[in-house]
Amino acid sequence: MVHPGTELAGVEALARTVEEQEALARTVEEQAELAQTVEEQAQTVEELAQTVKEEARTVEEEAEVAQTVEELAQTVEELAQTVEELVQTVEGTGEVKMVVGHRPVRCQSPLAGKSFSLMVLRLLKGHNFMSMLHRGGRKCVCCRERFLGQVQLSGEYSGLQQHVPVLPLVPPKQPTNIQQTVIVLYV
Q: Which pLDDT tens digit goes with each residue over 24-46?
A: 878 878 887 887 887 888 788 78
Computed from CA positions of residues 173, 178, 183, 187, in that sequence, does the dihedral angle turn out positive or negative?
positive
**Which among 129, 118, 130, 119 has a CA at the least distance from the CA of 90?**
118
Q: How many domains does the chain have?
A: 2
Given 93, 113, 145, which residue is the final one in a domain?
93
What's residue 154's pLDDT?
Answer: 31
The H-assigned helical ranges of the chain are: 4-93, 129-133
What's residue 73's pLDDT?
Answer: 67
Q: Which pLDDT tens digit goes with each residue over 101-143?
A: 433 444 444 444 333 333 333 333 333 343 333 333 333 444 3
Contact, 122 vs 177, CB < 8 A?
no
Long-range interactions of 9-12: CB distance < 8 A, separation 24+: none
What's residue 68's pLDDT?
Answer: 74
Count the neighbouring beta carbons within 10 Å of the beta carbon of residue 15. 10
Q: Which pLDDT tens digit goes with each residue over 149-182?
A: 333 323 333 333 333 333 333 333 444 443 443 4
Q: Which pLDDT tens digit goes with each residue over 70-104?
A: 777 676 666 656 655 555 554 444 443 444 443 34
Q: Are 87 and 146 within one domain?
A: no
Q: Are 83 and 169 within one domain?
A: no
Q: Which domain holds residue 174?
A: 95-186
Given 30, 63, 93, which residue is the final one in a domain?
93
Q: Please give the model's pTM, rounded to 2 decimal places.
A: 0.26
Q: Are 154 and 107 within one domain?
A: yes
Given 36, 66, 93, which residue is the final one in a domain?
93
